[in-house]
Amino acid sequence: MRRIGVGVLGATGMVGQRFLSLLDGHPWFDVRYLGASERSAGKQYSDAAHWVLDAPMPEWAGDITVGACDPAASGADGCDVLFSALPSSVAGPVEEAFARAGGIVATNAASHRMDPDVPILIPEVNADHLGVIDVQRERRGWEGAIVTNANCTTTGLALGLYPLMDLDLSRVAVTTLQALSGAGYPGVASMAIIDNVIPFIGGEEEKVAAETRRILGSWSVEEGFTDAPVEVSATCTRVNVTDGHLESVFASLDGGPEDVRKAFRDFKDPMADLGLPTSPSRALMLLDEDDRPQPRRDRHRGKGMTVTIGRVRPDIVLGVRFLLLVHNTIRGAAGASIINAELMVRRGIVPG
């Protein structure tokens, strides 16, 4: 396989930094272009980015000159894939410009998630939704494509619910305890979050409900996207944890706790045989300890790409309840876009 040129849009932000960290040493992808705002363009990356990750900045990244978020920027034309960490407030037209120029945009932004011709992709759940790309290209008249990953909270929830669809899952209520890194940098003011929980994240609850139903649903050329017949109710909160969204899930389905445990244990990852570099050995992991999962102890399982589940037990209202944990900036953001791009290489959407 040839080395595939990639770029990162919004490279100086927290998710952009996570992209660079995860792409360091990637066996398929070479980072050839970094795009950011006008105030960063023209600077060396080491001067433009305020590095906030616990992982060190890759040495090669520091010497790259940051360009504008424009397909005409130096280096951008050598990229088959553009990973977007842009804020949703500006991502839409920028991503469209790169797709129009022939690039495959794998984006973490919400701007295009609910478009009728754009997939919200989780490879282990709905890889067949990639079929909509042909429709997207025909409708929009471009050679590139836009593929989104889900909201970071949705990613963990949808992956955790997917094995339960065979148990006639019908209703879900979830309360999330979301990490500070999900708010980006500088994020939540320290005096607001210390000794506190913020019981509101603007727009999050609506995203979780809508995206989960889309991801768990179906797609066909004739019908387009059809949402899964699952009711989803979400309450989203921000807590004083650095990384890792913990979610308390209540589910109504045909079965009890042991059926749910069996569904998790028996889950066969459909990506397991594709050799995707970012794919974890186990996409879902059921833990038996009563006090797990915990963000500090479990968020890095599978290099941050494994969703961990625990405390499966009866619920007197909906039937079954359990906890799940997703690393929000890896599985829920940068890692999600990277594994999406890897799947597109395997499917021939990105020339390999």
Structure tokens at 298: 């479990």
Owner of token pair 């094995």: 163
Catalytic pick from 112, 129, 245, 327?
A: 245
Q: What's the first-to-final CA gap in the chain, in angstroms?
A: 6
Catalytic pick from 69, 79, 152, 236?
A: 152
Owner of token pair 């961990």: 308
Q: Spell 220-247 as b/e; 16+ CB within 10 A means b.
A: eeeeebeebebebebebebbebebbbbb
Distance CA 180, CA 53 (A): 13
Beta carbons of 9 and 67 less than 8 angstroms apart: no
Q: What is the DSSP letter of 188?
A: S
What's the order of all strands across the beta sheet hosting 104-107?
67-68, 29-36, 4-9, 81-84, 104-107, 145-148
Q: Catalytic annotation on 236?
A: no
Q: What is the CA radius of gyration of the chain?
A: 19
Please state, in angstroms and as integers, the Cα–Cα distance from residue 102 to each residue in 3, 71, 119, 241, 289, following that order: 18, 9, 18, 40, 49
Residue 206 CB-half CA count within 13 A: 5
Q: Which of 226, 211, 124 is nearest to 174 (CA)?
A: 211
- Interacting residues of 278 by C-beta distance below 8 A, sequence separation 6+: 22, 305, 335, 338, 339, 342
Angle 161-244-60 from CA coordinates, rounded to 5°:
115
Catalytic machinery residues: 152, 245
